[in-house]
């Protein structure tokens, strides 16, 4: 019995070992072609991108968008008390490059910048901009009351009682002369007679756009301590509005004439954004829009877009000086002055530079499985040319290149690909990082084709077969059946021997 037990244990050990190593001899045939069957822990980039340093640690932990101005500009006196309330957010839209940020998340009163959100909802609510709305007695009385409550002098478009205008004309009214009665007319219609409902619609849209520091209580921006936004949120709102070509057309218009209405021969409106008005004294040729806003509580606010050399800029200014320390008005208009300085500075300081040329060798993969002729290296090149707007004093060699595979994982020295591979096939993405911020990315493609080796493909299939669960299950089953048969055979042999011994004794 002891011998039987020992034999059984020995057979089980042999079967287990056979299962674990069944594919090993075949796997050895691949040698260098199959060095890596599993992605190893991430290594440094020294082997894949030798010309660039490792990734910035702040980028790896999810840093905020790059502010290449490092928070300061040469033309703002930080010690000037009138500049302490200033909030700025400036972006180049084409490359989504943050140029300057200052107090961008501090809540400010947006004044008539609010009307940008009113315009967004108007453009999305009315499928037909030729629809007509009437300035009723109810609305006129409401506007009169708020004008009185603010001490008079709120901006209007000169719309009179029972005058009918199209939605498109009302859009020009709110965006050019900043007409408060036009904003009320639109809000009343969209809110089904409830201005509070329209304010909620504004806030819902703001949340949809990612605004976290904004709360609207009216459609025009007249002062309310609970009506506020931030420079960053106004950037999000305006950037969204600029996707609409009708909005772009309206905010780039220096002046507008309605032509005859049911009450007047014409309404002529000039834009309050004097930076798009030739001969105004503040005209800046590269500026293409957008909107002003002014309140004593808010200071001077101005959002502008500008274009130069194929790039488009969006600048949000909030809280520029309006009143001096003695209560007098600061002249000239500091929103216009500062805006001009910002654009002068960025046009002189920043330059479009080519970071990667199409066809540049930017990375490689050093393990190619099943390749013909023992090829074990795949060169990766850039599929596109990529340029970015960066400061003149920053060399393109400071831009870090980080290669990722098609699964979004960084390419390391132990990564592999499997033949066949066609020239030009997308193998991953190259991210371009400057000071922890992603400037952009290009596709990584194979620089050449790699043919597969028929012999290695066959051996790989055999290897996979031997590593298959069902093969291992069947192998173990066969081993157990054989063991069972051996055991039964041993038992039967013992019984025969015993039977023979008994018979011999009987005959003796």
Query: Which of 22-26, 277-281, 452-456 has the least mean pLDDT?
Result: 22-26
pLDDT for residue 459 is more than 80: no
Per DSSP, 440 falls in state: E
- pLDDT category at 286 given cuts 50, 70, 90 is very high
Residues 286, 272: Cα–Cα separation, whole Å: 17
Percent of the chain with pLDDT over 90: 56
- CATH architecture for residues 66-350: 3-Layer(aba) Sandwich (3.40)
Half-sphere CA count of 150, side-chain side, radius 13 A: 18
Buried b vs exposed e over 381-413: b needs ≥16 C-beta within 10 Å? bbbeebbbbbeeeeeeeebbbbbbbeeeebbbb
CA 149, CA 168: separation in Å to the nearest integer?
A: 29
Residues β-bridged to residue 452: 371
**Residue 320: band (very low, low, confident or very high) from pLDDT cuts 50, 70, 90:** very high
pLDDT of residue 471: 54
Determine the average pLDDT of the residues in 140-154: 95
Instruction: Please name the residue ranges forming H helices in 221-333.
Output: 231-241, 245-251
pLDDT at 165: 99
**Alpha-carbon distance 463 to 459, whole Å?**
6
Q: Comparing 130 with 24, which gets the higher pLDDT?
A: 130
Which segment, 333-347, 360-374, 439-453, 457-471, is predicted with the most confidence on average? Answer: 333-347
> 311-320 and 87-92 as β-strands: parallel, antiparallel, unpaired?
antiparallel
What is the mean pLDDT of the segment spanning 473-487? 75
Per-residue pLDDT reduced to its tens digit, 81-123:
889 999 999 999 987 888 999 999 999 999 999 999 999 999 9
Higher pLDDT, 107 or 388: 107
Lowest mean pLDDT among 14-28, 47-61, 362-376, 427-441: 47-61
Instruction: Spell out the CATH class of 357-455.
Output: mainly beta
CA triplet 91, 96, 99: central angle to 5 degrees?
35
For residue 36, name the pLDDT band (cuts at 50, 70, 90). Answer: very low
Question: Is the pLDDT at 52 greater than 70, yes or no?
Answer: no
Q: What confidence score (pLDDT) does residue 326 get?
A: 85
Per-residue pLDDT at 461: 56
Q: Which of 23-37, 168-182, 415-429 has the highest mean pLDDT?
A: 168-182
- Report the C-alpha gap between 271 and 295 in whole angstroms: 17
User: DSSP assignment, residue 308?
Assistant: E
Res 204: pLDDT: 99
Domain boundaries in the chain? 66-350, 357-455
The conformational region for residue 481 under phi > 0 = left, psi -120 to 50 = alpha, else beta, is alpha
Nearest-angstrom CA–CA distance, 212 and 214 = 6
% of residues, the chain, pLDDT over 70: 76
Q: Which of 95-104, 289-298, 310-319 has the lowest mean pLDDT?
A: 95-104
The pLDDT assigned to 452 comes to 63
Tens of pLDDT, residues 241-284: 999 999 999 999 999 999 999 999 999 999 999 999 999 999 99
CB-based contacts of 28-32 (< 8 A; 24+ apart in sequence): 29/456, 29/459, 30/369, 30/456, 30/459, 30/460, 30/463, 32/367, 32/374, 32/376
In the predicted structure, residue 8 carries a pLDDT above the cut 80: no
Confidence of residue 451 (pLDDT cuts 50, 70, 90): low
d(CA 235, CA 73): 19
| pLDDT at residue 25 in the model | 35
User: Chain-wide mean pLDDT for the chain?
Assistant: 83
């Amino acid at each position: 019995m002891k011998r039987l037990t020992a034999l059984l244990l020995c057979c089980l050990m042999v079967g287990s070992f056979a299962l674990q190593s069944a594919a090993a001899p075949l796997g050895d045939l691949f040698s260098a072609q199959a060095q890596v069957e599993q992605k190893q822990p991430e290594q440094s980039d020294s082997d894949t991108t030798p010309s660039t340093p490792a990734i910035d640690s702040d980028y790896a932990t999810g840093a905020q968008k790059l502010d290449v101005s490092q928070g300061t500009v040469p033309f703002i006196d930080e010690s000037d008390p009138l500049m302490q309330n200033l909030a700025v957010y400036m972006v180049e839209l084409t490359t989504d490059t943050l140029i300057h940020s200052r107090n961008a998340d501090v809540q400010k009163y947006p004044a008539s910048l609010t009307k940008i959100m009113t315009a967004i909802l108007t453009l999305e609510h009315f499928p037909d901009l030729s629809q007509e709305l009437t300035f009723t007695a109810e609305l006129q009385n409401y506007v009169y009351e708020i004008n009185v409550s603010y001490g008079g002098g709120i901006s209007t478009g000169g719309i009179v009682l029972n005058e009918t205008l199209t939605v498109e004309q009302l859009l020009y009214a709110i965006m050019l002369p900043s007409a408060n009665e036009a904003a009320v007319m639109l809000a009343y219609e969209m809110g089904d007679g409830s201005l509070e409902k329209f304010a909620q619609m504004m806030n819902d849209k703001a949340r949809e756009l990612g605004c976290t520091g904004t709360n609207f209580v009216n459609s025009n921006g007249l002062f309310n301590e609970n009506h506020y936004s931030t420079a960053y949120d106004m950037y999000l709102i305006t950037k969204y509005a600029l996707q609409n070509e009708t909005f772009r057309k309206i905010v780039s218009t220096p002046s507008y004439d309605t032509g005859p209405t049911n009450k007047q021969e014409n309404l002529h409106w000039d834009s309050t954004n004097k930076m798009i008005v030739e001969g105004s004294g503040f005209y800046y040729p590269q500026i293409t829009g957008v909107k002003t806003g002014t309140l004593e509580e808010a200071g001077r606010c101005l959002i502008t877009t500008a274009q130069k050399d194929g790039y488009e800029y969006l600048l949000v200014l909030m809280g520029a000086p309006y009143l001096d320390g003695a209560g007098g008005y600061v002249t000239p208009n500091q929103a216009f002055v500062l805006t001009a300085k910002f654009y002068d500075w960025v046009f002189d300081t920043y330059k479009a530079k080519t970071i990667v040329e199409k066809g540049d060798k930017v990375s490689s993969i050093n393990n190619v499985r099943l390749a013909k002729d023992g090829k074990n290296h795949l060169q990766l090149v850039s599929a596109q040319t990529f340029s970015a707007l960066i400061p003149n004093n920053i060399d393109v060699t400071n831009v870090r290149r980080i290669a990722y595979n098609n699964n979004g994982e960084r390419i390391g020295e132990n990564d592999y690909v499997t033949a066949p591979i066609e020239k030009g096939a997308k193998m991953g993405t190259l991210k371009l990082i400057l000071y922890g911020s992603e400037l952009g990315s290009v596709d990584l493609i194979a620089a050449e084709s790699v043919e597969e080796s028929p012999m290695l493909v066959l051996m790989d299939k055999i290897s996979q077969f031997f590593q298959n669960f069902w093969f291992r299950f069947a192998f173990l089953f066969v081993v157990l059946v054989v063991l069972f048969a051996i055991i039964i055979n041993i038992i039967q042999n013992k019984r025969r021997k015993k039977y023979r011994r008994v018979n011999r004794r009987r005959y003796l």
